[in-house]
A = this chain, B = another copy of it.
Amino acid sequence: MTRGRAAHAVPAGARVANPRPETAEKRQRILEAAMSIFATRGYNNGSLIEIGEEAGVSHAGVIHHFGSKDQLLIAMLEYRDDSDVAELEGKHIPDGAALFDHLVRTVELNIERPGVVQLYAVLCADSVTEGHPAQDYFRARFVGLREMVRGALADVVPEASDARVDLAASTIIATMDGLQVQWLLDRSAVDMPEAVRLVIASVIDRLRSEAR
């Protein structure tokens, strides 16, 4: 829905239960290419032609598999989430203090994959513009993230009020996101993992001292 044209029925071929392994592989190549292009060029500037070239198919092939550019974006976001889940190898995301370790560990990992960081930073901010196809995705993502951090904070600082825990959860997530942009603009200017450690420790300390 990025251009003015009205919505239309999903073309055949999008979202079938891909029977053939070859097809699944091609879909995956397209998704990887979409990650790379959307990350470096943004959503609106990244074209299906570029994505097709990088994946070794024509742009028509891309549309054949995903129906439209919007749907490709959504599919790519889900694909990335699935990859991360796969890395966790069945372990659930940890609770309590272990979650904060996990967050810092993720930031450390992210330093080795600036493409992924840029993908999320650009698309996330892009999504606040009117009618952006990934708006629901990011809204839901933040709801989930806040809930997760909130739970961990409640474990670690049970004496804090719900209101303060809510606030602290938003704050920690916001810091991680904001740091990414500063880091992308100048990688030597920000020590992301250490900054995240600082904000987590600071906020937990503060919640404790407030409740005392």
Task: Give me the interface of A with B, judged by CB distance under 8 Å.
Answer: 2, 40-42, 44-45, 118, 121-122, 124-130, 135, 138-139, 142-143, 146, 164, 167-168, 170-171, 173-179, 181-182, 184-186, 189-191, 194-195, 198-199, 201-203, 205-206, 209
Q: Are A198 and B168 in contact (CB under 8 A)?
A: yes
Set of chain B residues within 8 Å of A2, measured between Cβ atoms: 45
Cβ-neighbour of A142 out of B40, B124, B186, B201 (below 8 A):
B186
Question: CA A127 – CA B125 in complex, angstroms?
Answer: 11
Cβ-neighbour of A177 out of B139, B146, B177 (below 8 A):
B177
Set of chain B residues within 8 Å of A168, measured between Cβ atoms: 198
Set of chain B residues within 8 Å of A167, measured between Cβ atoms: 191, 194-195, 198
Copies in the complex: 2
- Tell me whether A182 and B186 are in contact in the complex, defined as CB-CB below 8 angstroms, given that A129-B40, A129-B41, A203-B198 are known contacts: no
Question: CA A42 – CA B133 in complex, angstroms?
Answer: 14
Minimal Cβ-Cβ distance residue in B for A174: B178
- Tell me whether A185 and B129 are in contact in the complex, defined as CB-CB below 8 angstroms, given that A177-B177, A178-B177 are known contacts: no
Question: CA A167 – CA B191 in complex, angstroms?
Answer: 7
Question: CA A115 – CA B41 in complex, angstroms?
Answer: 24
Q: Are B142 and A184 in contact (CB under 8 A)?
A: no
Q: Are B195 and A206 in contact (CB under 8 A)?
A: no
Q: Are A179 and B171 in contact (CB under 8 A)?
A: yes
Whole-angstrom distance between the Cβ of A14 and the nearest chain B Cβ:
24
Whole-angstrom distance between the Cβ of A35 and the nearest chain B Cβ:
14
Question: CA A40 – CA B129 in complex, angstroms?
Answer: 5
Q: Are A203 and B209 in contact (CB under 8 A)?
A: no
Among A40, A128, A164, A205, the most chain B Cβ lie within 10 Å of the Cβ of A128
Question: CA A146 – CA B189 in complex, angstroms?
Answer: 10
